[in-house]
Structure 1
Amino acid sequence: MEKPQDKVNEPFSAYGRYSYADYLSWQLEEMVELIRGKVFRQAAAPRRIHQGLTVALVTRIHGFLKGGSCKVYTAPFDVRLPVASRKHTDIDTVVQPDLCVVCDPDKLDDLGCLGAPDLIVEILSPGNNKKELQLKYDVYEASGVKEYWVIHPDERTLLIYTLEDRKYHPSRLFTLGDQVESQVLSGFVLDLDEVFGEV
């Protein structure tokens, strides 16, 4: 079971519950995420294939969105998912998606995104699968992220969760040879042979 780890001289403990106000006060060299008040460390530096996939995806999505109102961002980029209020002390979930698309400019500020992005892409890394597949799935669904993509780089697969009636509905498992369309980014088509072929 993945648990936050405590280290000497850190501003948080493994068993504490924290808010975005706490998160802003920390001076850390590594990225951390808050999921429902619990601290989760980012895994070690992403592997080369993870970085390659991020670049391939952001290049294609940025080119598609150019000139429109939707914008694409890559980690590190704070996405705050408020539940009760937008006060820093009340927000207990702050994530760093590998890639996200925000179409509502009112959700963007100097600190990142406040509210659910329209699309989030997470690329699995060794050691973070439970966080991406269970914990983040739950908060993304509850927060209203319209489309959530999970990419497994070693298996070269993509699974898309689409929000309908406040519940995620999974696509079939896409893999090499597939052309993938997004319901959120109307007209955007992703050729998985091209994307995985670049890494």
Structure 2
Amino acid sequence: MTTQTTLLTYDDYINGPEIKQRYDIVDGKMIFMAPAPTLRHQRILRLLVRILDTFVTEQDLGEIYFAPADVVIQRSPLRTRQPDLLFVSNERSEILGDVVEGGPDLVVEILSPSNSRQDIADKLADYANVGVRECWLVSPEAQTVEVLALTEGVWRRTSLHGQGDPIHSNIFDDLEAGVSQLFV
């Protein structure tokens, strides 16, 4: 017996019902994420949103969004990602609509034990394809923030910050935040 799988199109995606569970769409197939982030994951995200949203708002730099918020990587076959947090500068605000249609300036992924190296590599490749400028990989286990910058289509680690270190961002020059603020 064969089973036919219908791939999602961009129109299906935009006009379909709201789905409450977090997912990415890879080549038209919906890939559901772990049922719910842990409370530790949520605490780190909440603290990060508070820090970055305050900074971005005070400086009038753009908008901060957090999961679930879809970033469309490509329309056909449909491919989307839902980073834990994203920042879109005022200069790139045209990519904002019901979903993000292009590369945010910054995406943040809070790593979990279920993330394989391949999962992260696939996400980074997708983010590079839409021109994300910077990616932070936050490791709750190691209590680190790894900052990657997209340079000529390749991700390069610009810094790795641990407990007691300030977070240096290539897109937020004046940001005064420390890794310790995320792991309380």
Please indicate the TM-score interval, normalised by the length of the shorter structure.
0.7 to 0.9
Residue 167 of structure 1, aligned match among 125, 142, 154: 154
How much does 1:105 deviate?
1.5
Cα distance, 1:49 vs structure 2: 0.8
TM-score w.r.t. structure 1 length?
A: 0.80
Partner of 1:64: 55
Give the residue type in structure 2 aligned to 1:181.
H
Bigger mean CA deviation after superposition, 61-70 or 130-139:
130-139
* Alignment check: 8 A CA contact 2:73 2:129 kept: no
Deviation at 1:101, TM superposition (A): 0.0
Q: 2:107 maps to what in 1?
A: 120
- Measured in 1, the distance between the counterparts of 2:24 and 2:81 equals 5
**Equivalents in 2 of 1:54, 1:15: separation in Å?**
35
**Separation in structure 2 between the aligned mates of residue 14 and residue 177 of structure 1, nearest angstrom:** 53
Gaps of 5+ in 1: 1-12, 83-88
Residue in structure 1 matching 2:79, options 93, 111, 117: 93
The CA RMSD over aligned residues, in Å, is: 2.2
Distance in 2, matches of 1:35 and 1:175, equals 33
SS in 2 for 1:76: coil
5+ residue gaps in structure 2? Answer: none
**How many angstroms apart in 1 are the aligned matches of 2:19 and 2:4?**
15
Q: Is the 8 A contact 1:100 1:119 kept in 2?
A: yes
Is contact 2:56–2:63 with CA below 8 Å preserved after alignment?
Answer: yes
Aligned mates of 1:81, 1:112 — CA distance in 2: 11
Q: When the two structures are aligned, how many residues end up with a matched partner?
A: 178
* Deviation for aligned residue 1:162: 0.2
TM-score scaled by structure 2? Answer: 0.86
Q: Secondary structure at the match of 2:100?
A: strand
Runs of 4+ off more than 6 Å = none
Q: Secondary structure at the match of 2:112?
A: coil
Q: CA deviation at 1:20?
A: 2.7
CA contact (8 A) 1:122 1:149 kept: yes
Report how far residue 14 of structure 1 moved. 9.7
Q: Take 1:129 and 1:32, find their aligned partners in 2: how far apart are those partners?
A: 16
Q: In structure 1, what residue type is equivalent to 2:34?
A: A
Deviation at 1:132, TM superposition (A): 4.4
Correspondences of 1:128-143 after superposition (within 5 Å): 128-130=115-117, 132-143=119-130
Equivalent residue letter for 1:133: I
Distance in 1, Cα, partners of 2:12 & 2:124: 24
Q: Structure 1, residues 80-137: CA drift from partner, whole Å, max 9, x if none? A: 123xxxxxx536221111000001221111x121110000001012323346411101
| Percent identity between the two aligned chains | 28
SS in 1 for 2:8: coil
